Amino acid sequence: MSKASTMDSFSRNAVENFVQTVVFVDDKIYAPSPKGTVIEEKKVSAPKVRKPATKSVAKKPIDLAVYDNEKLEETATFSPHDIQASFAKKRIVCSLHQPIKRKSVGIESDTYKLCASADIVIVDWDLYGDAGENAKTLIENLVLQSLEEDPHQLRLVLIYTDNPNLFDISDRVSERLIAKIPKGIEYKDADKGLAFHTLNARVVVLGKPAIRLDEFKPFEVRESELADRAIAEFCKLTNGMLQGGILMGLATIRKQSRKILTKFHSGLDAAFLTHRALSLPHEEAFDHITPLLVAEIEAVLEDSLPTPLIDNSKIENWCKEKWIPSGHAKQFISEGIDIHEFAKDFCIKGMAIADNYTPGNISDLAKTIKTLKEKTPKWPSVDAPSFKMLTSYLSKDSSGSDLRELSVLMSQRTYYGDGRHLTLGTIIRESGGDKRYLICLQPTCDSVRLTKVSTFLFCLLSVAKGEKTTHIVGNGKDFTDLIFKPEIENCVTLTFKPSKGLVTANKLEFTDHSVGQGYQWIAQLKPKHAQRAAEQFARELSRVGLTESEWLRLKTK
């Protein structure tokens, strides 16, 4: 399989296209270290946080006597401009920043503000001989920002140092972060105790070329190779198949941003203001800008991204190299069948896989597919256990939580802000009492420009208990399966008092104006999904009752 067809190369290509800004923080950018500097010997102590597998390193002191002066001189040479050039070759802007001595690097500093907007931050450990104090402060603030202030921003922080003991630095940084986020640090065996994750950030300790123990060599990087290593480390933040595809899309939008802007040139200002003046109410004209931008972005993605975005060669590589079969998947496969090969056939050929395995070597899952295909179109409900086995085959467990999470992502709007309004497709849940779920069927045009207490139309949603499911709501961990039955007896009306023309939730809570009953905001369906629910309910209301021949009516069944 060629390198270009692997998932690793796909992720790397996506990251290289996505990453645009890097900040390198060092105290010797404008005053390079003189050649011939001898690195002071330091005793390597056992790490406090890293895994026990690396404890053997603590028993080996660094013997500088075995190195000659020429090698010491070579390891002391340092050029930040080589770092900048390594990123320039990938068309990534790398800013070189030297903080002012004895100035803070806290959240109000120029150093922090510059780093906070960068995709990758590289910081020297020992800034002006402070033994890592400023570096720890800067890293802590950047990691907390990625968790609290901007929880959807991916960030890579690289500590780049000539310190011989990388474990000591990793321990000191992780201790600082654990004090702030005790349960938010994740370690992986492959990182050897020199890297760790938070929700959206990755911190890695890398060494400048210097005299170190062999255990540190995989984390030692020359300045000219730092860009390649930074890209590789960023890939570990976005190593998923869908994440790679989304990064490619975001990178494409960035590259086409100028072309999108030219579509809305200043010559259209007069026309748009005329449109605003003629609109009723005219303030809503500015709400039309978002759909215009969304349409242009959609056009860019449709015309610029390759089709298919993820081809069969990458799917095959994912099945063989990335997928880890779980216990419940292994029990579905008959002896003598390569589980990874079967997974590849299942992903690429889909339901047609049942025709590719002979009765003598067919697996249990292939038998299930063959059986279920014969029961179409109602095969999911005809044999629910087999359907569950089939759909959870590739998942980490048989609970189906990942399938539910994807279903929510595909059908419901994601909120990046705090405002929640009541409109067509809003799902709410009764507070206290029976905690009934309801879906709002109020037409969108009747949900805005409200001036008085207004009545909203809802339909009850039943909690699924072994039945078919039409909607799923949840928070990414816990999910509830719901059933939408568009029937007259499930119709409910509630009254709400608007604020500035809309019914707005107060801390995710709506209050029925007539009885004071509270309703918690749960989810918002995407427009087409909400419109489908409204159409299904309208179809039920528009049924026609008439007199006809019973014989003829039965013939239509």
> pLDDT for 408-440, tens place per residue?
999 999 998 888 999 999 999 999 878 899 999
Average pLDDT over residues 485-514: 94
Asked whether residue 330 falls in the same domain as residue 209, the answer is: no
Asked whether residue 335 falls in the same domain as residue 191, the answer is: no
Asked whether residue 53 falls in the same domain as residue 84, the answer is: yes
Confidence tier at 442 by pLDDT (50, 70, 90): very high
Exposure string of 53-79, with b = 16+ CB inside 10 Å and e = fewer, is eeeebeeeebeeeeeeeeebeebbbbe
Strand order in the sheet with 120-124: 93-97, 21-25, 120-124, 155-161, 201-207, 195-197
Confidence tier at 275 by pLDDT (50, 70, 90): very high
Residue 249 belongs to what domain range? 242-264+274-304
Asked whether residue 217 falls in the same domain as residue 251, the answer is: no
Confidence tier at 71 by pLDDT (50, 70, 90): very low
Tell me what percent of the residues of the chain surpass a pLDDT of 90. 52
Predicted confidence at residue 357, as pLDDT, reads: 66
Query: Would you tell me how many other CB atoms lie within 10 Å of the CB of residue 523?
Result: 23
Tell me which of 330 and 383 has the higher pLDDT.
330
Distance (Å) of CA 282 to CA 61, 253, 269, 287: 75, 30, 15, 10
CA atoms within 13 A on the CB side of 108: 2
Predicted confidence at residue 191, as pLDDT, reads: 85
Asked whether residue 355 falls in the same domain as residue 227, the answer is: no
Tell me which of 190 and 500 has the higher pLDDT.
500
Contact 39, 76 (CB under 8 A): yes
Which of the residue ranges 75-84, 119-128, 547-556 has the most confident prediction, judged by mean pLDDT? 119-128
Domain membership of residue 475 (yes or no) is: yes
Asked whether residue 87 falls in the same domain as residue 145, the answer is: yes
Domain membership of residue 107 (yes or no) is: yes
Asked whether residue 80 falls in the same domain as residue 205, the answer is: yes
Q: For the chain, what is the domain count?
A: 4
Tell me what percent of the residues of the chain surpass a pLDDT of 70. 85
Domain membership of residue 450 (yes or no) is: yes
Which of 34-43, 121-130, 240-249, 482-491 is least confident?
A: 34-43
Domain membership of residue 142 (yes or no) is: yes
Predicted confidence at residue 382, as pLDDT, reads: 67
Adjacent-strand bridge partners of 186:
197
Asked whether residue 422 falls in the same domain as residue 369, the answer is: no
Confidence tier at 338 by pLDDT (50, 70, 90): confident
Domain membership of residue 59 (yes or no) is: yes
Asked whether residue 220 falls in the same domain as residue 298, the answer is: no
Q: How far is CA 256 from the centre of its chain?
A: 22
User: How far apart are the C-alpha atoms of 391 and 229, rounded to whole Å?
Assistant: 37
Predicted confidence at residue 398, as pLDDT, reads: 83
Whether pLDDT at 33 is above 90:
no
Predicted confidence at residue 369, as pLDDT, reads: 72
Domain membership of residue 309 (yes or no) is: no
Domain membership of residue 11 (yes or no) is: yes
Asked whether residue 355 falls in the same domain as residue 369, the answer is: yes
Which of 30-44, 299-313, 516-530 is least confident?
A: 30-44
Asked whether residue 67 falls in the same domain as residue 106, the answer is: yes
Asked whether residue 56 falls in the same domain as residue 102, the answer is: yes
Tell me which of 88 and 79 has the higher pLDDT.
88
Tell me which of 334 and 487 has the higher pLDDT.
487
Write out the two tokens for 210: 């210097």
User: What type of residue is 398?
Assistant: S
Name the nearest CA neighbour of 120 among 207, 210, 18: 18
Confidence tier at 73 by pLDDT (50, 70, 90): very low
Query: What SS3 class is residue 372?
Result: helix
Predicted confidence at residue 81, as pLDDT, reads: 85
CA atoms within 13 A on the CB side of 249: 15
Which of 25-39, 237-251, 348-362 is least confident?
A: 25-39
